[in-house]
Structure 1
Amino acid sequence: METLGPAGVGFMVFLDNIFPPIPSELVLPLAGFTSSQGQMNIVAAIVFATIGSVVGAVLLWALGKWIGIERIARIAVKMPLVDVDDVHKTVDWFDKHGDKAVFFGRMIPIFRSLISIPAGMRDMRLTKFLLLTTAGSAIWNTILIVAGFTLGENWSVVETYAGYFQNVVIVAVVVFVIVWIVFKVRKQRRKKAAGLDTTEDDHIEPGEFEV
């Protein structure tokens, strides 16, 4: 880690946002431990880690902006069990809670990267996105690096508990998806039993999801 230096820490965190070869929950506590040994400046580690987080997030925000919400909506409604109403509910939720989602999402594994894409799709102002992303990333990076610094030789404890947290997030997502699938299957069965068209909500009007 001392060979990588603060800039290397930032680069690893950047990669974690785009394609995570090594999770930041491993890199950042180790950077903190390295700082505790006097081989890295802790403030520089936090700053570069946050820069890496923000740069990676902005690239995904730009990807979301380029894709656009209507393109995703047209793909989504062709998927089994998904209709226009589902897309509208998701968009409405993000319009209402997007700021909090971007800020707190920076502290949640998996969502850390994904949340930047819908922010771009809904054309969240770049200045606001940068502010929320920088704040959320700085807090999370500081927590992990300071924890590694404080624990010293026991820095890997942070990685262990971060792994538990990630597993909880994964289980929660899986449970949510299963519950949603069961709900949608039952809904479609009720529609079929009532003789209703289950594809009646699959049309997307041009400009339907404009901000």
Structure 2
Amino acid sequence: MVFGLLVPGDTAAVLAGVAANRGRLDLPTTLVLVVVAAIVGASIGFGTGRIFGARILRWAVFERHRERLDRSGRYFERHGSWAVIFGRFSTFFRTMLPQLVGISSMRYTRFLLTSTIGAIIWGSAMVMAGYAIGQSFTAILQRVDSWAAMVIVALIVLAVVYWKWRRHHRTPTDQP
């Protein structure tokens, strides 16, 4: 769960697509691996929620939110499948939703089916986006002289350093 928040799957999948475009990875294998990794990760999250979720929800801090939690459970009963599928496209929900669904009464078989559908759609979209970015990057490199590319990269780095420096050295009156 923590690793998923620190290193978003979107980034890894897009970079895998770029690597596939550059010939470092096989595209079909990359697609399968990203989808399988997404399914396995979500299944582990579901299991974690199923095993520990009920105990966590009994903590006193959640008592004042009991009505909201019950409403959320009823929402999952009606719309849980769609939440699992479309939750893939949000880093936070992709990371946290399997645990929340594990806490709910959704059966694992239903979760696995909807999670697989979402993983196929999400994984394919992310890897193919990376593949397209890789194609664009290759075309740009063919048209731009390597010295010009280095100058552009240096200017971008200098701009970011200057921006960070200005942000750090602002006086309280400079800030809105």
Paired with 2:65 and 2:108, the residues of 1 have a C-alpha distance of: 30
Equivalent of 1:88, from 50, 57, 70?
Answer: 70
| Contact 2:17/2:129 (8 A) holds in 1 | yes
Aligned residues: 136
Equivalent of 1:104, from 82, 86, 107?
Answer: 86
Q: Which amino acid aligns with 1:73?
A: L
RMSD of aligned alpha carbons: 2.2
Matching of residue 51 in structure 1 with residue 36 in structure 2: yes
Paired with 1:119 and 1:111, the residues of 2 have a C-alpha distance of: 11
**Residue of structure 2 in register with 1:129 after alignment:** 111
TM-score normalised to structure 1 length? 0.58
> What does the per-residue CA deviation read over 1:57-98, in whole Å, with 9 as the maximum and x for residues that have no partner?
1111111111243x34322xx328824322221221222221
Matching of residue 113 in structure 1 with residue 91 in structure 2: no
Change in CA separation of 1:60 and 1:80 when aligned onto 2, cut-off 3 Å: closer
Structure (1 or 2) with the larger CA radius of gyration: 2
- Percent identity between the aligned chains? 29
**Residue of structure 2 in register with 1:209 after alignment:** none
> What does the per-residue CA deviation read over 1:133-162, in whole Å, with 9 as the maximum and x for residues that have no partner?
11111111111111111122656xxxxxxx
Paired with 2:28 and 2:122, the residues of 1 have a C-alpha distance of: 14
> What does the per-residue CA deviation read over 1:18-59, in whole Å, with 9 as the maximum and x for residues that have no partner?
613422222222211211122211111011011111111111
Q: Which amino acid aligns with 1:19?
A: F
Paired with 1:139 and 1:37, the residues of 2 have a C-alpha distance of: 23
Higher helix proportion? 2
Question: 1:1-211 counterparts in 2 under 5 A?
Answer: 19-20=3-4, 21-69=6-54, 71-75=55-59, 78-79=60-61, 82-152=64-134, 154=136
Paired with 1:73 and 1:33, the residues of 2 have a C-alpha distance of: 41
Change in CA separation of 1:82 and 1:138 when aligned onto 2, cut-off 3 Å: same
| Contact 2:77/2:105 (8 A) holds in 1 | no
| Contact 1:54/1:137 (8 A) holds in 2 | yes
Paired with 1:57 and 1:83, the residues of 2 have a C-alpha distance of: 26
Q: Which has the higher contact order (CA 8 A, sep 6+)?
A: 2
Q: Which amino acid aligns with 1:115?
A: L
Paired with 2:103 and 2:94, the residues of 1 have a C-alpha distance of: 16
Q: Tell me whether 19-28 or 112-121 shows the greater mean CA deviation.
A: 19-28
Paired with 1:111 and 1:35, the residues of 2 have a C-alpha distance of: 27
Change in CA separation of 1:57 and 1:18 when aligned onto 2, cut-off 3 Å: farther
TM-score normalised to structure 2 length? 0.68
